[in-house]
Structure 1
Amino acid sequence: MATCVLLAAAVPARAAEDDRPVTAAIGGRLHLDFATFDNDNRGTPNKDDTEIRRAWLDVSGRFFVVDYKMEADFSGDRVEAKDVFVSRGFGDAGRLTVGQFKQYFSLDDRTGSNYGSFLERGNAGTTLAPLYRLGASWQANPGDFTWAASIYSLESIDAWKVKGRAAGGRATWAPSPASGDVLHLGISLARELYDNPGGSGTPALQVRPRAAGHLSDESRLTLVDFSNGRDTDVNKWSLEYAQVRGPLSWQGEFSGATFDDGLQRGKVLAGYGMLSWFVTGESRAYDRKTGRFARVKDIQHKAGAFELALRYDQMRGDQHLDGLPDLRDGSTEAWTLGGNWYLRDNLRFMLNLIESRNRDRLADVTVDRTRALTGRLQFDF
């Protein structure tokens, strides 16, 4: 009800002149997904399914001396808050943001879901990135560099049972980027201190990637699991590289995390490499102010733009009690072939063909092999 009132109040404000002290604009996205699976005979098979992956609405604008954004996802059983913050710019010195916002970690995660070349981000982007958290940050864009640093709670508006505190940041460098000519380098760091995960009603701290897309829950492999109620320290990092050369682009990241609860330790390493080719001649767009990829514009043909993309994604994790051999050692990998048809710059149809495999390295056996065909109809405004 509060969201409806907010949207109704924003409608007349959208027409306000830019020099007025209060402005508002409405935006949103709708992602309709499907998945069909070719499962092996190990474990529980994934079921063919469809879902509303995202149904977001947002209101953003200016309120006197600050900018604001309020965003929510209506796709699930309950409304989930995304960006809910106020911010203010201080010229070349940077911008202060306070509230709930997506944290600054990795090129894959920072590139919006409307603009990625695949339906889902890689393993590190879906399991290690801090996502939306309550906190405060400072961001700046001096020349060819961007940097952002934040302090944040491990709670969010909708995940208030997750207790703890954290700090992190990201820096990027892209020397004189131009349309069709980009070199991007970046680094992300985060330190997160979890209070008794798995104890006193708090959620467990686990890394469990979905090997074959968002609907492949039965193919999840637990790489680390800290759920015995002991305070756990986590250190995360990610190194980024990407280039755009006309219709071709390629990028990769190497990411990792260490876990320590005083009794046991865990480690996760992940990496991916991808190649993208716009058959119709367009280029992936790059936003130099935020150090991430953005909306594809200047579609050259009436029939739209077509992109082919290929990614290899691998993640490995191990866990052991201090001074003892590993009690867990597993890995997951996937090849994804993607095709994207951009009918308009805000309307596209996506198809992904995925070949995934999970291994228990302690037993030296494959525990799951799944092929999937996934697709999405996507619209944003």
Structure 2
Amino acid sequence: MRSLKHQAVLAALLTGGFLTNTAHSGDSSSALIDKLIERGVLTEQDARELRDDTLQKERRAAEDRYPGLEYEPTLPLRAVNDRIQARKFRVESQDGTNRFGLRGRLMIDTEFADWDKNLNAASSQTDRQDFDGALPERGTYLRRARLGAIGVYDDTWEWQLEVDFRDSDVRFANAYLAYLTDHGRLAVGNFKEPFSLESSTSSRRLTFMERATPVDAYRPSRNIGLMYETLVPNYYLAAGVFGGEGTDRDRDVEEGYALALRGSFAPYMSDDTFSHLGLSYNYRRNSKDFDDEDGDIYEDVRLRSREGARAIDIRLIGRNDIEGVEDFSRYALEAAWGHGPFSLQGEYLRVDLNLDPDKGDVRTDKSRLTLDGYYVQASYFLTGEHRNYRAFSGDFGAVRPNSTFGRGGTGAWELAARFAHADSSEHSRPGRGNKMDHYTLGLNWYPNEDMVFKLNYMYFDYEGRGGKSDGNQVLAARAQFEF
């Protein structure tokens, strides 16, 4: 049992304010304890115990800046007395105001396909055939291989640098600096434009191997920009202005820009139930070059999606880029609901594109194109878990299995189904449009918090430049690990 002197000194430290300022309390309290030892008030054993208590108080004072939000960059280490965490490697200063961590993800895919005989002609895949004129039917692919660092400086500045090694060219994913406020953050750098529930959800947290067809096709990508977003319990707001792909853009052309807005809220939340409603808007002015004879030459716009997996490169929606686009707007309506192990999710997306009237195709009088699509999905955890909805960021977090495989448990098992429709039949060049109905069944196994194995069966009907193709089937699997 601790001595009365020990308790009295600890109370004095607390009431005297030595532990209220985490940036300086360590030096002040330590100096006071040393003086008390010199005067014989405390023994060395008392001092050690008191320093341990002081350290724990400091750690609690510097804990999660946004309590209950699970905002990863600011979360303290799990063990109070640790300064280095091996799993999901983290290092932090004694007072918890400076943190550094390494993070990464690895996704390994395989795919087997049974194509309808008309798909080749319908989708005009003339440059995607193998040596005997048929589309490839199997493949493997390193879908994502990312390594990055994340940190917090002085409990005020957050930063992240993450690169993707999946292709021969290394590319940036996130690369930003952010200033943390009491209710949000202001970030500058390369990151996602805020748009759509499924687009905003990390690839680590998707129910299926790939995002739904209309989301994959119509969402904006990561770009360099300035964005403010809230960090509050029950709703999410984000607004930003973005340039182009600053890490991989043609600097000989005049860069375009985008204005992005997204908002969502949770109308009802309880321990076992969540609801979500959201709205996104994105306006982009297209990049352009200039020619003395032709005037403004706008860059082609790519709004593309594949068959629902990536190990075979079959480009279906958006097979041909759209030419002569001056500007375009994207919209998304979001909704989700969950109760216990069961959840529903859906979105409607639309893109309106304005074409340069001086560069129109003589075969069409269209100056405006509209592309749209939607998806609905449902999932159910056979082992009783639930999806980790995060109202503060308007997305989904990590699934936490009720038991861990290898430690006497089975992990978490999830069944899921999705229907998606995308209509890109309008195009700047007549006959180059396409549309698709896409069905997916999924089985996911989460042996622990950091791993997931996914099996997806897909069936889709397609209509493109060369006609219709029904009954295409794909079986794909993924092994995924994050650290």
TM-score (norm 2): 0.70
Q: Is the Cα–Cα contact under 8 Å of residues 285 and 294 in structure 1 kept in the other structure?
A: yes
Q: Per-residue deviation at 1:171?
A: 0.3
Q: Alpha carbons of 1:219 and 1:90: their partners in 2 closer, same or farther (altered >3 Å)?
A: closer
Q: Alpha carbons of 1:306 and 1:62: their partners in 2 closer, same or farther (altered >3 Å)?
A: same
Q: Would you tell me which structure has more strand in proportion to its own residues?
A: 1
Q: Per-residue deviation at 1:265?
A: 2.5
Residues of 2 paired with 1:14 and 1:299: CA distance?
25
Q: Which one of 417, 442, 453 corresponds to residue 338 of structure 1? A: 442
Query: 1:270 is matched with which residue?
Result: 373
Q: Is the Cα–Cα contact under 8 Å of residues 342 and 380 in structure 2 kept in the other structure?
A: yes
Q: Per-residue deviation at 1:115?
A: 1.0
Q: Per-residue deviation at 1:58?
A: 1.1
Pairing 1:214–2:310 present: yes
Q: Alpha carbons of 1:176 and 1:40: their partners in 2 closer, same or farther (altered >3 Å)?
A: closer
Runs of 4+ in structure 1 over 4 Å off: 10-14, 197-203, 325-329
Query: 2:168 is matched with which residue?
Result: 77
Pairing 1:56–2:146 present: yes
TM-score (norm 1): 0.87
Q: Would you tell me which structure has more helix in proportion to its own residues?
A: 2
User: SS state of the match for residue 309, structure 1?
Assistant: strand
Pairing 1:234–2:341 present: no
Q: Per-residue deviation at 1:110?
A: 0.9
User: SS state of the match for residue 234, structure 1?
Assistant: strand
Query: 2:270 is matched with which residue?
Result: 178
Q: Alpha carbons of 1:146 and 1:195: their partners in 2 closer, same or farther (altered >3 Å)?
A: same
Q: Per-residue CA shift, 1:227-279, capped at 9, x if unaligned? A: 3xx45211000000000110100110000101112333321111000010101
User: SS state of the match for residue 343, structure 1?
Assistant: strand
Residues of 2 paired with 1:104 and 1:226: CA distance?
23
Q: Per-residue deviation at 1:217?
A: 2.7
Residues of 1 paired with 2:285 and 2:312: CA distance?
30
Worse-matched range after superposition: 344-353 or 122-131? 122-131
Q: Is the Cα–Cα contact under 8 Å of residues 165 and 193 in structure 1 kept in the other structure?
A: yes
Residues of 1 paired with 2:96 and 2:434: CA distance?
57
Query: 1:110 is matched with which residue?
Result: 200
Q: Which one of 169, 186, 204 corresponds to residue 300 of structure 2? A: 204
Q: Which one of 352, 363, 367 corresponds to residue 258 of structure 1? A: 352
Residues of 2 paired with 1:52 and 1:25: CA distance?
24
Query: 2:459 is matched with which residue?
Result: 355
Question: Of the two, which has the highest radius of gyration?
Answer: 2
User: SS state of the match for residue 426, structure 2?
Assistant: strand
Pairing 1:380–2:476 present: no
Identity %: 27
The correspondence of residues 13-24 of structure 1 with structure 2, limited to 5 A, is 14-17=90-93, 19=95, 22-24=98-100
Query: 1:5 is matched with which residue?
Result: none
Consecutive unaligned residues in structure 2, runs of 5 or more:
1-83, 121-128, 130-134, 358-366
Q: RMSD of the alignment, in Å? A: 2.8
Question: Structure 2 counterpart of 1:278, which letter?
Answer: F
Pairing 1:290–2:425 present: no
Q: Per-residue deviation at 1:198?
A: 12
Consecutive unaligned residues in structure 1, runs of 5 or more:
1-9
Question: Structure 2 counterpart of 1:24, which letter?
Answer: F
Q: Is the Cα–Cα contact under 8 Å of residues 341 and 381 in structure 2 kept in the other structure?
A: yes
Q: Which one of 202, 205, 209 corresponds to residue 119 of structure 1? A: 209
Query: 1:305 is matched with which residue?
Result: 412
How many residues end up aligned between the 2 structures?
364
